[in-house]
Structure 1
Amino acid sequence: MFWYDHGMGGWGWVAMSFSMVLLVALAVAAAVLLLRSGDRFPGGPMQPPAAPSAKQVLAERFARGEIDEEEYEQRLTTLRAHEPGQGRPGREQS
């Protein structure tokens, strides 16, 4: 009944090693798939809210009454003059 002297032969060690590698690979694949499927659930993945633009902050301050209309228009004009691609006032673009 116990012809192999209770020991594991060379192929037994190979099969056991291969099975362990396969088991770990399956566990990692399952974890990755579970984490990547987060956007399919209600609410989606947790992402920080986008920072408001300078114009949005200025409009909110005006809406709350922190600044008057004259200051709002002045600051808005300044923001528009410094928009990306506009360059700095008084300097030539190269």
Structure 2
Amino acid sequence: MAAKSARKGPTKAKKNLLDSLGVESVDYKDTATLRVFISDRGKIRSRGVTGLTVQQQRQVAQAIKNAREMALLPYPGQDRQRRAALCP
């Protein structure tokens, strides 16, 4: 006997965070805006979460990577408390 597949309801449309923030172009120096697209662990949030278009996601990812290189944003990794406990 075949198992019934679960029916999913209508999907909720994701709101584009860049449009809701009123941002026209993404800049690596605008860290307040870029922090919206970074998780609490420092990872870049996916398009499914942010609702960005493909082009916007690429621009945001590139801006975040540039800001990390300039030491404006943190890299993902261990938190400071854990590192402090590991390194005497």
**Shared topology, TM-score over 0.5?**
no
Highest relative contact order (Cα 8 Å, sep 6+), 1 or 2? Answer: 2
Structure with bigger gyration radius: 1
Structure 1 or 2: larger helix share? 1
- Could you tell me the TM-score, scaled by structure 1's length? 0.28
